[in-house]
Structure 1
Amino acid sequence: MLASPTVRVTLIVTAVGILCAFLGDLAITTVNPWQDLKDLFLGVVTPDFFSIDQVGVALLRTVAFAFVGVALGSLAGFLLSLVFSSRVIRIGCAFVRAIHELFWALIFLQFFGFHPLTGVLAIAIPYAGIFAKVYSEILEENDPTPERVLPEGTGRLARFLYARIPDALPHLVTYTSYRLECGLRSSAILGFVGLPTLGFYLESSFSQGYYSEVGAILILFYVLIATLRHWARPRLIPAYLVAAPFFLGDGLPIVWGNVSRFFTQDIVPAPIRDGDGLRALGDWLTQLLVNEALPGIWNTLLLTQIALVCTGLVTLIAFPLISRHFGNRVSRGGGHVLLVIARSTPEYMLAYILLQLWGPSMLPAVVALALHNGGIIGHLIGRRSNEIQLRPDAPSGFNRYSYELIPRVYPPFLAFLFYRWEIIMRETAILGILGIHTLGFYVDSAIQEIRFDRAILLILVTALLNIAIDVTSRRVRRYLRLQTRVTCEGH
């Protein structure tokens, strides 16, 4: 039987999610959404790989941005992980990873323009914060025995290189490989803000109704992700890292005066910049808080909680698709394909497609977040269920699911779900760029109006909200005593 705290937390989270669903905007507003969905499906099954100009170049640039960004992020993250015990470092890393890659891209676009440095830094900076956190956890979980057997007087650097790194290396490599897959998704969606990756061509083809081109781009992206382990072999990585910078493309020269002006003038609050005094600054902050920050926070929280509950439902439905305790080899193979597609499709990309089909509301974002995160957690829980040995007389069908497996996989299920709570919040905020009134909507509007002071302050609000959710998630997991190695699998 499930422990009482687990039941209470589950009921509370579910009740909050249902309440948020009643308060949220979950309508379909297009005239004929199912016909549009049918047209998209036909485009996917009849892809046109020859009508897209420069798609091969876009594919190479998607890979190049991912490799360079992840490489720089992992290097910086590893160095930061060595001093992660410092509170200043931990707070700094929490802050930079709380800001989505697209927000970083929007910031860098204002002074670097469509320069390759914009895309590289947009990936590298938040990933450095993520790598620092995860690498430090991996190093801390090392078996201390090797260090104890080293001769007395062994230097600190030698202890680290010979006792800690060899034990942690497999986990570091595994997580870095996973983060490379995430980097490919991040690189692809950078195209939605104008960088020349796959997302740029997907948006262009979809806006013109060329669904066969959309299908071709999606299939190429899925193949890229699905074959990652085959073409990104460890012995080939050095060659890729050397070649990747040459495929980033060219951009207009960076005007360093624009960079200086951005930091010294553009992001300075208007009342301070104009010398209007403290009262004007207070009025400015109040107006920003009431008209933009609070509505953005409210809608971001609403959408996050609905998506969190829906992610849980998708996970509980999805994990039997790949569990050896259900179906046969063929059905499980099909289940694996479905979950690979779900977890490989970036939430932003899927939400964009669904918004075009269903119209502007929270519903496309909820479905996109639930399918992507449910696919990830469903895959992990399905693997966990495969490790469970059932007794010979165990029931079959629904009784096996309800009484044999759910009680055993529920604690890790909750651990992964709450672990991704902060990630869902992070994605929810950025989906506002698509027109949903989360914090990202107000950030994008401020940038479009060339009010960078407002945009930066709203981005700071987004980061603080993300950090608050991360802290809450940790406390819930600690309260429920949920312990699972999520660092290498679930981030």
Structure 2
Amino acid sequence: MPSSPTVRVSLIFLAIALVGLLFADIAVTSSNPWRDLGNFLFGIATPNFFSTEGLKTALLRTVAFAFVGVALGSVAGFLMALAYRSLPVRIFCAFIRAIHELFWALIFLQFFGFHPLTGVLAIAIPYAGIFAKVYSEILEEANPESGRVLPPGTGNISAFLYARIPDCWAKMRTYTAYRLECGLRSSAILGFVGLPTLGFYLEASFSQGLYSDAGAMLILFYVLIATMPLWVRPKLLPVYVLGAPFFLGEGLPIVWGNVQRFFTEDIVPAPLRNGEGLTGLTPWLSDLMINEAMPGIWNTLVLTQIALVATGILSLLAFPLISNHFGGPVRRTAGHVVLVIVRSTPEYILAYILLQLWGPSMLPAVVALALHNGGIIGHLIGRQTNAIKLRPDAAKGFNRYSWELVPRVYRSFLAFLFYRWEIIMRETAILGILGIYTLGFYVDSAIQNIRFDRAMVLILITALLNIGIDTLGRYIRRKLALQTMPTC
């Protein structure tokens, strides 16, 4: 059985989630959700691949934004990883990665407009912070023995290039490929704020009730993700990266005066901008905190904790789908297909779909977050169980699951779950754009009302909240002696 500290922590988080359910808005408000769900499933079964003229362009731009954004983010992240031991660098990286890509896109839209630079930077900036963190950890774990065989007098730069980089290259390449898949998901959802990627056409199809068109877009997106090993080849990467900028589109010219005004006027708190000074700043900030920040923080925390526990439960239920210790190859193949679909669908898109079917509440967000993250963790834990060798007389069925496998993978499961805690928080905040009363709702409302000063304060609060959750997750993993950076 899992050790008592891990069980105790698990029960504490379960209790918090159950208490959160008492305050959560969990309801199906649609008048006929089953009919809407049936229409959507029928649309998936009868996809219309030829209805939207701009679908091909949307797919190309989804790929182009991902490649350019990830390429810039990886280069910047690698450079920052070299100085990651510096506290200012770590704080800067933590801050930029704590702000979701959609929040960055909403910021850049205010002064760049629908220019390709908006989408590229919205992906590149947070990804740079993520790359810096992961690359630095990979470099720190490099085997020092390779550097000791170099000739005496070898310089630090030469030792780094010829000893440390080759030792870390495989892990860095694998992680960058995974981040490219994440970049495709991020690029797709940028369409929900108006950029010409797949999400733009998906939202348009749903709003018009064209479920067959929406089904075709989702199927093409799944195919795009599933076939990445076939078309993302190392020899072709330079071609993709160099060619991608030509498929971003042009957009309207950037008015640099708008950029200057945004930073010098728009985001300056209204009391300071109007000459009221610090005397007017206190009531302004108090009103913002009481009426927007505090309700947003509360709903974000409640939804995050419920989604975290739901993710954990779903992960434990999902890993047998691909485990070699249960069923035959046909069932495992079907399990792989199910997990690929749920983990490949961005939480934002899944939540948007469920909101259209069930109506506005926290329920679609909880289900979307749990399915996506549970699919990821379930896949990783399922692969881990495949390396476990059981005795010939080991128990079968549920006893094998509960007494043989779960106790052996439970610590890894918790490591993955707490590692994704901060990611779930980021997604919870941004789902407010869809109408759920998390911090993203108040950020979007402030931007829609052209109150950028309030929006920036709320985005800053969101970033600090994410950093706090990330720090707490690291502390819990360290106290439980779990892996700081789980890998599988």
TM bracket, shorter-chain basis: over 0.9
Alignment correspondent of 2:415:
415
Alignment correspondent of 1:91:
91
Once the 2 structures are TM-superposed, how far is the Cα of residue 152 of structure 1 from its aligned partner?
2.7
**Aligned positions of 1:214-363 closer than 5 A:** 214-363=214-363
**Aligned positions of 1:359-370 closer than 5 A:** 359-370=359-370
Alignment correspondent of 1:117:
117
Q: Are 1:154 and 2:154 matched, yes or no? A: yes
Alignment correspondent of 2:398:
398
One-letter amino acid of the structure 1 residue matched with residue 238 of structure 2: P
* 1:72-109 alpha-carbon deviations (Å, 9 max, x no partner): 00000000000000000000000000000000000000
Q: Choose 422-431 or 2-11, whichever is displaced more.
A: 2-11
What is the alpha-carbon root mean square deviation over aligned residues?
A: 0.7
Distance 1:238 1:101, change over 3 A: same
* 1:255-292 alpha-carbon deviations (Å, 9 max, x no partner): 00000000000000000001102121000000000000
* 1:336-355 alpha-carbon deviations (Å, 9 max, x no partner): 00000000000000000000
Q: Is the 8 A contact 1:435 1:441 kept in 2?
A: yes
Q: Give the whole-Å Cα distance in 2 for the aligned partners of 1:191 and 1:288.
A: 29
* 1:322-381 alpha-carbon deviations (Å, 9 max, x no partner): 000001000000000000000000000000000011011000000000000000000000
Alignment correspondent of 1:207:
207
Q: Choose 143-152 or 105-114, whichever is displaced more.
A: 143-152
Q: Is the 8 A contact 2:72 2:124 kept in 1?
A: yes
Alignment correspondent of 1:459:
459
* 1:175-229 alpha-carbon deviations (Å, 9 max, x no partner): 0000000000000000000000000000000000000001000000000000011
Q: Is the 8 A contact 1:77 1:127 kept in 2?
A: yes
Q: Give the whole-Å Cα distance in 1 for the aligned partners of 2:342 and 2:356.
A: 19
Alignment correspondent of 1:442:
442
Q: Give the whole-Å Cα distance in 1 for the aligned partners of 2:258 and 2:413.
A: 48
One-letter amino acid of the structure 2 residue matched with residue 209 of structure 1: G
Alignment correspondent of 1:8:
8
Q: Is the 8 A contact 2:266 2:453 kept in 1?
A: yes
Q: Is the 8 A contact 2:478 2:484 kept in 1?
A: no
Once the 2 structures are TM-superposed, how far is the Cα of residue 22 of structure 1 from its aligned partner?
1.7
Alignment correspondent of 1:69:
69
Q: Give the whole-Å Cα distance in 1 for the aligned partners of 2:82 and 2:483.
A: 24
* 1:411-445 alpha-carbon deviations (Å, 9 max, x no partner): 00000000000000000000000000000000000
Alignment correspondent of 1:430:
430
Q: Give the whole-Å Cα distance in 1 for the aligned partners of 2:294 and 2:274.
A: 26
Q: Give the whole-Å Cα distance in 1 for the aligned partners of 2:148 and 2:243.
A: 42
Alignment correspondent of 2:197:
197
SS of 2:235's equivalent? helix
One-letter amino acid of the structure 2 residue matched with residue 203 of structure 1: E
* 1:31-82 alpha-carbon deviations (Å, 9 max, x no partner): 0001100100000010010111210000000000000000000000000000
Alignment correspondent of 2:168:
168
One-letter amino acid of the structure 2 residue matched with residue 435 of structure 1: G
Q: Give the whole-Å Cα distance in 2 for the aligned partners of 1:290 and 1:22.
A: 22
Q: Is the 8 A contact 2:39 2:211 kept in 1?
A: yes
Report the TM-score when normalising by structure 2.
0.99
Alignment correspondent of 2:137:
137
Q: Is the 8 A contact 1:97 1:127 kept in 2?
A: yes
One-letter amino acid of the structure 1 residue matched with residue 160 of structure 2: F
Q: Give the whole-Å Cα distance in 2 for the aligned partners of 1:235 and 1:75.
A: 18
Q: Are 1:55 and 2:55 matched, yes or no? A: yes
Q: Is the 8 A contact 1:25 1:363 kept in 2?
A: yes
Once the 2 structures are TM-superposed, how far is the Cα of residue 138 of structure 1 from its aligned partner?
0.3
Q: Give the whole-Å Cα distance in 1 for the aligned partners of 2:349 and 2:132.
A: 27
Q: Is the 8 A contact 1:442 1:455 kept in 2?
A: yes
One-letter amino acid of the structure 2 residue matched with residue 418 of structure 1: F
Once the 2 structures are TM-superposed, how far is the Cα of residue 148 of structure 1 from its aligned partner?
2.0
Q: Give the whole-Å Cα distance in 1 for the aligned partners of 2:485 and 2:423.
A: 17
Once the 2 structures are TM-superposed, how far is the Cα of residue 134 of structure 1 from its aligned partner?
0.2
One-letter amino acid of the structure 2 residue matched with residue 407 of structure 1: P
Q: Which runs of 5+ in 2 are unaligned?
A: none
Q: Give the whole-Å Cα distance in 2 for the aligned partners of 1:127 and 1:468.
A: 19
Q: Give the whole-Å Cα distance in 1 for the aligned partners of 2:393 and 2:127.
A: 48
Q: Give the whole-Å Cα distance in 1 for the aligned partners of 2:299 and 2:103.
A: 18
Once the 2 structures are TM-superposed, how far is the Cα of residue 151 of structure 1 from its aligned partner?
2.6
**Aligned positions of 1:470-481 closer than 5 A:** 470-481=470-481
Once the 2 structures are TM-superposed, how far is the Cα of residue 153 of structure 1 from its aligned partner?
1.9
Q: Give the whole-Å Cα distance in 2 for the aligned partners of 1:46 and 1:112.
A: 39
Q: Is the 8 A contact 1:304 1:424 kept in 2?
A: yes
* 1:236-255 alpha-carbon deviations (Å, 9 max, x no partner): 10000111000001100000
SS of 1:254's equivalent? coil
Q: Choose 210-219 or 14-23, whichever is displaced more.
A: 14-23
Once the 2 structures are TM-superposed, how far is the Cα of residue 483 of structure 1 from its aligned partner?
1.7
One-letter amino acid of the structure 2 residue matched with residue 463 of structure 1: A
Once the 2 structures are TM-superposed, how far is the Cα of residue 149 of structure 1 from its aligned partner?
2.3
One-letter amino acid of the structure 2 residue matched with residue 402 of structure 1: S
Runs of 4+ off more than 3 Å:
none
Once the 2 structures are TM-superposed, how far is the Cα of residue 484 of structure 1 from its aligned partner?
6.5
Q: Are 1:376 and 2:384 matched, yes or no? A: no
Q: Is the 8 A contact 1:6 1:480 kept in 2?
A: yes
Q: Give the whole-Å Cα distance in 2 for the aligned partners of 1:43 and 1:484.
A: 43
Q: Which runs of 5+ in 1 are unaligned?
A: none
Q: Is the 8 A contact 2:48 2:215 kept in 1?
A: yes
Q: Is the 8 A contact 1:412 1:484 kept in 2?
A: no
Q: Give the whole-Å Cα distance in 1 for the aligned partners of 2:172 and 2:18.
A: 39
Once the 2 structures are TM-superposed, how far is the Cα of residue 485 of structure 1 from its aligned partner?
4.8
Q: Give the whole-Å Cα distance in 1 for the aligned partners of 2:103 and 2:321.
A: 36
